Amino acid sequence: MQLKELSERTAVTPASIKYYLREGLLPAGESVHPTRSQYSDQHVGRLKLIQALRQVVGLNIGQIRGIVGLADGGAPRLELLAAVQRTVLGLDGADDDGTSGTEPGDAVVRLRNWPDARSDARTALNAHVAHMADLGVPVPLELLDAYSSALDAVANLDISATVAPRDVDELILTAAVGMHLHSELVRRLLAFAQASHGIRRYETETDLGPNDNAPPRNVRERPAPPRKT
């Protein structure tokens, strides 16, 4: 197909397609004329990926270039997934030398029997728990256990979805969009759960107001007995 048909099939303007070609996000087409190239379904899939990463996940051109560059360079699937996770979830490189703040990651590995391997996600967890402790919000082992247990099954479902696609672009699309949308789903479900538990716990309590000795509003005051004359 020529540029016009590629544009029509993907709803991406010719100008944007040329821009992606110049930026190295889209592989060059097969030259059939000094001013004309032919494009394939591979280009359709790559444009679908680029648009999803930009519009759904919110990545910039540099971030997309880094991910598709790994794919085009033949990076192993595990390395590719790690790059997608690092970029999409914004994992930082704090404690990258692995020599400090390792206790939370080590504890979760033991609790869940996860592979004892370094990763950006493990490093980010260590850094975040250390940051919480600095702010006076410690994370006890019981909390790590509860959270990691709940999210273990969720993560298994997420990663299982990335096993099926054989095409690398489809793998990136499934992983990136899935990680972004599923992480937002988890956040909103957590907010829903917190709101529900808050309603349960606080809806029966009453505000005593400025007079702490006043009886609760949901308790009727008994009328005073009549005075004897």
pLDDT band at 138 (very low <50, low <70, confident <90, very high): very high
pLDDT tens, position by position, 191-220: 999 999 999 888 876 554 555 555 554 444
**Which residues, in sequence order, are CB contacts of 8 under 8 Å at separation 6+?**
none
Residue 137, pLDDT score? 95
Q: Quick check: helix, strand or coil at residue 165?
A: coil
Q: Is 49 exposed, middle or buried (0-12, 13-18, 19+ CB in 10 A)?
A: buried
Arithmetic mean of pLDDT over the chain: 85
| pLDDT exceeds 80 at position 165 | no
pTM, entire model: 0.77
Go through the chain and tell me how many residues it has: 229
**Residue-level pLDDT at 219:** 44
Closest CA to 174 of 69, 96, 77: 77
Q: What is the per-residue pLDDT across 21-41, written as a single tens digit (0 to 9) for each?
A: 999 999 988 887 777 889 999
Which pLDDT score is estimated for 154? 87
Domain limits, the chain: 3-201
pLDDT band at 98 (very low <50, low <70, confident <90, very high): very low
Q: Is residue 75 helix, strand or coil?
A: coil
CB contact set of 38 (below 8 Å; sequence gap of 6+): 1, 2, 29, 30, 32
Higher pLDDT, 212 or 2: 2
Grouping H, G, I as helix, E, B as strand and the rest as coil, residue 151 is: helix
